[in-house]
Copies of this chain bind each other. A is one copy, B any other.
């Protein structure tokens, strides 16, 4: 991203301020991801004040040099040591021309808002929601290329780790997860958007399981692996099931086929204009046919970008119509306590005519069978 990209994004948000701000003359951007999106600044503890002709990053002395490097076209305001962010924001606001201030209500806590009001004197405030997030839903060409790179890192690391896995006697879930993460980092990922999940057999019944250093992978018949990489701030997010040659039970195979069918049904339903919730219902209806809808205990997917979970959400609020340029996960899963779980997760780009699968790793049952003689 160049400075010009960020400047154009700020211009678009200023347009929203003019059209929807109800008289607000400044927008306070507090979300770390939104600040990055609008400026290129990759640090934290920094908020952006955006007026019609100014962009001021209210930060602290730890970031003086980084701001100059990363967003030379944004005015820095460095708080003195010990001054909290809200006090600094209040001070800057009260020096600007008076007039209402729109703020990101999802990204200020109740107590921060209280501090801000105290510091800003007579300033009026107007809560607003999603002004930047809804722009971030639609990725530009550079963002899509970056997400593709994050997917490529994740997939290449996964393939490497499967070679590693086949050569191990019986590694633990945690060992496998660490290898996978380290492999992604060696391929250029910064800290992954979430720690890889490696869940053996029954542990796969917990959608947000964390790998255990006492559970040996090959003691179960299958593994669920959910992982992703971070490339230049952008996330990828995949889930695959690994089975071991000759150990695929009939129960596993039929459940796997049901989840895959649900995923394919959902993917086939994607096109601009359809509501995110409709795609979710499509997958749920497919699982219903196999009596597995009750075991599908989460939403179908979410946008990925500067955050690992961002709008649009497929199966929770806010519901939005899909649009070309959105990058989303489709990840139906079923969870059967005591037995385990199956989830298949891919990343897709919504196109003018449907969806493009960005992930390449095969999904067919047994495509992931590890030829391991353990």
Q: Which residues of A contact B (CB under 8 A)?
A: 42-44, 60-66, 81-82, 84, 103, 105-114, 127, 129, 178, 181-182, 185-186, 188, 190-191, 195, 205-210, 213, 296-299, 315-317, 335, 337
> In the assembled complex, which residues on chain B have CB atoms less than 8 Å from the CB atom of A82?
299, 315-317
Residue of B nearest to A295 (CB): B61
Say how far A205's CB is from chain B's closest CB, in angstroms.
6
- Tell me whether A298 and B61 are in contact in the complex, defined as CB-CB below 8 angstroms, given that A42-B210, A110-B108, A208-B43 are known contacts: yes
A297 to B67, CA, bound (A): 15
The smallest beta-carbon distance between A156 and chain B, in angstroms, is 16
Question: What is the distance, in angstroms, from A21's C-beta to the closest C-beta of chain B?
Answer: 17
CB <8 Å contact, B195 and A191: yes
Q: How many copies does the complex hold?
A: 2
When chains A and B are docked, how far (Å) is the Cα of A315 from the Cα of B319?
44
A182's partner among B64, B127, B178 (CB-CB below 8 A) is B178
Q: Could you say which of B63, B113, B185, B210 contacts A178, with CB atoms under 8 Å apart? A: B185
The listed residue (B109, B188, B207, B213) touching A62 by CB distance below 8 A is B207
Interchain nearest-CB distance for A333 vs B (Å)? 9
With A298-B81, A315-B81 as given contacts, are A65 and B105 in contact (CB-CB < 8 Å)? no
CA distance in complex: A190, B177 (Å)? 10
Contacts of A178 in B (CB 8 A): 182, 185-186
The CA of A111 and the CA of B129, in the complex, are separated in Å by: 8
Give me 17 A-to-B residue pairs in the complex whose CB atoms sit less than 8 angstroms apart, sorted by A's number: A60-B298, A62-B207, A62-B297, A64-B337, A65-B206, A66-B206, A66-B208, A81-B298, A82-B299, A105-B109, A105-B111, A105-B114, A106-B111, A109-B109, A114-B127, A191-B191, A191-B195
A61 and B105 contact, CB distance less than 8 A: no
Establish whether residues A111 and B84, one from each chain, have CB atoms under 8 Å apart when the complex forms: no
List chain B residues, Cβ under 8 A from A316.
82, 84
Nearest chain B residue, comparing its CB with the CB of A130: B111
Distance in angstroms from A331 CB to nearest chain B CB is: 12
- Expressed in whole angstroms, the Cα–Cα distance for A112 and B335 within the complex equals 29
Chain B residue at smallest Cβ distance from A203 = B65
